[in-house]
Amino acid sequence: MARQPYDGVVLAAPHTEPYQRYSTETAHWWLARALKGTLDAAGLGPREIDGFSVASFTLFPDTPVGLTQHLGLCPRWLDSIPMGGASGVVALRRAARAVQAGDADIVACVAGDTNRIDSFRKLLSSFSRFAMDAAYPYGYGGPNANFALLTDRYMQDYGATRSDFGRIAVAQRDNALRNPHALMKKPLTLEDYLTARPIAEPLALFDCVMPCAGSEALLVMREDEALRRGLPCARLTGSIERHNAFADDPIQLRGGWAMDADELYAMAGCAPGDIDLLQTYDDYPVISMMQFEDLGFCDKGEGPRFARETDLTITGDLPHNTSGGQLSAGQAGAGGGFIGLVEALRQVTGRAGPTQVAGARRALVSGFGMINYDRGLCSGAVILEGAQ
């Protein structure tokens, strides 16, 4: 059966709560700030939303249920998205259908986490059963070593060099220098990238995201509602989601996008060449390179050449991760699943300020999440178009 379009549904009121490397505040605090930010942007009070979607790793012992009482909300539609880097795409897909079906009129989608000293290590120790049984005992403190292995394999199979990955990181740092809230504020040269201290060979310091505290939010509502309130907004023209794709691949060199990208473009009625800016999930450059391939910007194995030949900065051929992405702005836990989505919404509504891409109308946002054992399990993507 052909999928229904998301007619009549829009995204509006993007808000990013500026990230901090470490925070003494709680996830509740960060999610409250993001929610307040998006509501303020729309001129709404907390009782005026009737749908609430939350993605966070550090809310324990609470869930989004407890958060409704904590924050004084009374939604008739509530969602919890435990999908890390895919949470933005998945939250949006679900919220859009809820609004379209009338189950909710205005859904606030929020994501974020705190980061206390040592909380990252503690979070890791209970991340997943396979990680507990088969990754941590091997010294895998976080996904660095996982990505090292697949970067190693990717380099062997497709001839990628460290410089090819470095180009992605360096371009993002250029973008981040325009974003006053990015945690990384120093310029990064390819030389800096190549000579950085090793973390998990072949990965070095600038291949790895820096965990931090932060939060992101946006609203999903009917287009007439947004127009009535005078809110700049964007339509959702296509979306895909996939979990545990290509489970028989001995090591992950492609994600679920490769299964579903054709459907994404068919639904949105466009092709990769029509995309004005691309926000990939970028906890490590190799995974952005795979997204270039799996989302059809180049063929499989052509990612290194594509990275060499494409200017990925804000003023370049294909502006990529325009706020600096996680690599330069920081990884705010589940907020990392929203950073590209919220930035893309700012971009296609012409409100990205210092990181604005000239004439940005159509953005592709891609998500990737949950290194359960040896690979990321969740993938998804959406295409947004400015509604003005």
- Candidates 36, 97, 116, 153; binder of other proteins (CB under 8 A) is 153
Quick one: 129 or 228, whose CB is closer to other proteins? 129
Interacting residue with other proteins among 145, 190, 194, 196 (CB under 8 A):
145
Asked if 148 interacts with other proteins (CB under 8 A), we say yes
Of 10, 95, 109, 149, the one binding other proteins by CB under 8 A: 149
The footprint of other proteins on residues 214-233 (CB under 8 A) is none
Q: Smallest distance, Å, CB 299 to other proteins?
A: 22
153 or 222, CB closer to other proteins? 153
In the list 136, 181, 301, 305, the residue contacting other proteins (rule: CB under 8 A) is: 136
Minimum distance from residue 115 beta carbon to other proteins (Å): 13
CB 300 within 8 A of CB 259: no
| Number of alpha carbons in the 13 Å side-chain half-sphere of residue 289 | 33
Residue from 117, 156, 230, 273 touching other proteins (CB under 8 A): that is 156
**Residue 140 binds other proteins (CB under 8 A):** yes
Q: How distant is the alpha carbon of residue 16 from its chain centre?
A: 13
The answer to the question of residue 387 lying near other proteins (CB under 8 A) is no
Contacts with other proteins by CB under 8 A: the residue count is: 38
Cα(317)–Cα(62) distance, rounded to whole angstroms? 44
Q: Which of 137, 230, 273, 359 binds other proteins (CB under 8 A)?
A: 137
Residue in 23, 100, 115, 144 binding other proteins, rule: CB under 8 A: 144
Choice between 30 and 127, CB closer to other proteins: 127
Cβ–Cβ under 8 Å, residues 339 and 18: no
Closest C-alpha to 53, from 363, 334, 351, 369? 334
Q: Which is nearer to other proteins, 203 or 332 (CB)?
A: 203
317 binds other proteins, rule: CB under 8 A: no
Contact track, other proteins, 11-40, x by CB under 8 A: ------------------------------
Residue 1 near other proteins by CB under 8 A: no
* Contact window for other proteins (CB under 8 A) among 179-187, 243-251, 277-285, 346-354: 243-251
Stretch that binds other proteins, among 44-52, 78-86, 135-143, 310-318 (CB under 8 A): 135-143
User: Which part of the chain contacts other proteins (CB under 8 A), choosing from 55-63, 152-160, 165-173, 256-264?
Assistant: 152-160
Interface positions, 108-127, toward other proteins (CB under 8 A) = 120-121, 124-125
What 3 state SS string does the chain have?
Answer: CCCCCCCCEEEEEEEEEEEECCCCCCHHHHHHHHHHHHHHHHCCCHHHCCEEEEECCCCCCCCHHHHHHHHCCCCCEEEECCCHHHHHHHHHHHHHHHHHHCCCCEEEEEEEECCCCCHHHHHHCCCCHHHHHHCHHHCCCCCHHHHHHHHHHHHHHHCCCHHHHHHHHHHHHHHHCCCCCCCCCCCCCHHHHHHCCEEECCEEHHHCCCECEEEEEEEEEEHHHHHHCCCCEEEEEEEEEEECCCCCCCCCCCCCHHHHHHHHHHHHCCCHHHCCEEECCCCCHHHHHHHHHHCCCCCCCCHHHHHHHCCCCCCCCCCECCCCHHHHHCECHHHHHCHHHHHHHHHHCCCCHHHCCCCCCEEEEEEEEEECCCCEEEEEEEEEEECC
Question: Is residue 2 a contact point for other proteins (CB under 8 A)?
Answer: no
Site string for other proteins, 353-382 (x = CB under 8 A): --------------------xx--------
Under the binding rule (CB under 8 A), the answer on residue 135 touching other proteins is yes
Structure tokens at 11: 């995204």
Chain residues that interact with other proteins, rule: CB under 8 A: 120-121, 124-125, 129-130, 132-142, 144-146, 148-150, 152-153, 156, 197-203, 247, 250-251, 373-374
